[in-house]
Amino acid sequence: MKHKNLDKLIETIRILRSPEGCEWDREQTHMSLRPNMLEEAYEAVDAIDDGDIANLKEELGDVLLQVLLHSQIADDNGEFNIDDVSKELNEKLIHRHPHVFGNKKVNSTDEILEAWDKLKKEEKKDRKSQMDGISKSQSALMSAQKISKRAVKTGFEWPDVQSLHACIKSEFDEFEQSVKENNKDHMEDEMGDILFAVVNLARWYKIDAEQALLRANKKFMKRFRKMEELAEKPLEEYSFEEYDILWKQAKKALI
């Protein structure tokens, strides 16, 4: 199947970056476009979460634009082009799916994931530690999940969930001690330990901590908007007790 529109798009990007093209596009670098890559990826995820297929089509186009721009910048610098990117990705996918493109037999998705990790490890021979290769740019919560999973692969795991609960409790106790000491640095360290331990609890129950927090954020915002609708005076004038009553009313109204 031919991809005429994709070829046209690649040519459009080339023209925009050419001397006859757009001054703004010519000025862009990998670093200047870095925020755009993150923003467009998040907007695509928002469309997925909202179940908005029409918007997802548009947002995936914006993500693709970033890929093509970075590839064209690299091409202009004599480093690589979009065909090189496609070739490397295609080779990687074929190599990591020997059960599809080779003779390897698998009996479950778990076996597929195990084989994927093994092949990935073979490809990344320069990585000496399980902690190597974890993105420095992703959210701290996503990093914590990946760090935790990597550590568990080596057997570094709590013996049971009760010991994990005990660990979380001990982190709260240590935080309370740092509050008593009024030590800001210590408080930040201990709060980080609490959050990391809770991420491990989510992993234990196979819950995506990032997704769980996103759901909590959306739920809170929805209830807060309902409070604003139900409020009979500016929220700034509410006492704690009045706030509590209003919150419960909002929660009940959204059930």
Per-residue pLDDT of the chain (255 residues; tens, 9 = 90+): 678 899 999 999 999 999 999 999 999 999 999 999 999 999 999 999 899 999 999 999 999 999 999 999 999 999 999 999 999 999 999 988 988 998 888 888 888 888 877 887 777 777 778 888 888 878 899 899 999 998 998 899 999 999 999 999 999 999 999 999 999 999 999 999 999 999 999 999 999 998 899 899 999 999 999 999 999 999 999 999 999 999 999 999 998
> How far is C-alpha 106 from the geometric centre of its chain's CA atoms?
29
Amino acid found at 186: H
Residue partners of 201: CB distance under 8 A and separation at least 6: 161, 164, 165, 168
CB distance 76 to 17 below 8 Å? yes
Q: What is the DSSP letter of 105?
A: -
Q: What is the DSSP letter of 137?
A: S
> How far is C-alpha 77 from the geometric centre of its chain's CA atoms?
30
